[in-house]
Structure 1
Amino acid sequence: MDELDLELLKVAQDGLDLTERPYRVWGEVLGMGEDEIISRLRAMEGEGIIRRFAATIGHRALGILANALIAWRVPPEKVDEAGAIFAAAEEVTHCYERATAQDWPYNIYTMVHSRSREECLQIAERLSSRSGISDYIVLFSEKEYKKISARI
């Protein structure tokens, strides 16, 4: 990664303009052509400097108001299998394994978003059915305090 890549990332973190040629706008700021912008983004993705370059959506503006963290108690011998099932589900945006604690036996965590709490509960039931894991708890978000991407 060179200095121009770093400058590109600084510009990119503020998002694309909704124009027909958004990379042209960045190119004007950085003194590069659109092809170079795209080439540099692809190279940084290929090298693992950035994980992906994609749109993010303000889910609340789209009516997605219910957010649920589902904590699963998965036997150690089924963690990989259940984790793969959960991670493959379209409704799951995040899927993590974490250590258990003495008073907290849950070791797999999935995050789902929906239009209602009822829909989130239905998603949890479907995931339970698919995975065969019936010991879980659904925790709903009550308030969003801060939501921003990492900054350079």
Structure 2
Amino acid sequence: MKIFTMPQKRAAGILQRDIPLCARPFAAIAETCGLTGGELINWIKELSREGILRKFGAIVRHQKAGYEKNALVMWAVPPGKMEETGRRFASLPFISHCYERSPAFQGRYTLFTMLHSRREAPAVLIAQMAQAVQCPDFLILESLQEYKKTSPEYFE
């Protein structure tokens, strides 16, 4: 397990939230945490090399950007086809999440995908996916109401 110093913990807490909108955001974060800009950048590079930090990115509210159609799909992938099917689904531009899960839901659904679309009905895209991998056994769960959606915070 990686041990973090207090300044690093403070920096991690800030980095997992909104990065300041200023000319030198990492310098501003470093100053707040008692680090130099160089120390913070080097630490971020170290976390990236170690696979602890995956990426920095903006969070887009997909509904407000016009991606109003979405569905969670559970797939009953035949034994021996999980790797191929998972990689194929994960490569699709309208799939945001693709996970193999265990134990299988209802004893057979092991691959889960999250689909987002602007124009096409999810059912059309899902039918194309099912046909492409010859997997006719799936369940579609459409979002009815969002009660909570947040990014996890691991540092205070």
TM range (shorter): 0.7 to 0.9
From 52, 74, 83, the equivalent of 1:71 is 74
* 1:14 to 2:17 alignment: yes
TM superposition score normalised by structure 1:
0.84
Partner of 2:121: 119
1:34-69 Cα shifts (integer Å, max 9, x gaps):
333222112112223333333222222212222210
Q: Classify 1:119/1:42 alpha carbon distance in 2 versus 1 (closer, same or farther; 3 Å).
A: farther
Give runs of aligned pairs for residues 19-34 of structure 1, distance below 5 A: 19-34=22-37
How many angstroms apart in 2 are the aligned matches of 1:100 and 1:31? 48
> What is the CA-CA distance between 1:75 and the residue it aligns to?
0.6
Of stretches 25-34 and 140-149 in structure 1, the one that deviates more from structure 2 is: 25-34
Structure 2 gap ranges (5+)? none
Q: Deviations over 1:102-146 (max 9, x none)?
A: x45322110112235x43223212322332222222210111111
Which residue does 1:143 correspond to in 2? 145
Deviations 1:76-124 (Å, cap 9, x if unpaired)?
12111111111222211111122335x45322110112235x4322321
* Corresponding position: 1:100 with 2:104: yes
**Matched residues, number:** 150
| Structure 1: tracts of 5 or more residues without a match | none
Structure 1 segments, 4+ long, off by >6 Å, are none
Aligned match of 1:35? 38
* Identical counterparts, % of pairs: 32
Cα root mean square deviation, aligned:
2.1
* Structure with a larger share of its residues in strand: 2
1:127 partner letter: M
Deviates more, 1:121-130 or 1:67-76: 121-130
How many Å apart are 1:20 and its aligned residue?
3.0
Q: Cα distance 1:64–1:84, how it changes in 2: closer, same or farther (>3 A)?
A: same
Q: 2:121 & 2:9 partners in 1: Cα distance?
A: 42
Which structure features the higher share of helix residues? 1
Distance 1:130 1:106 in 2: 18
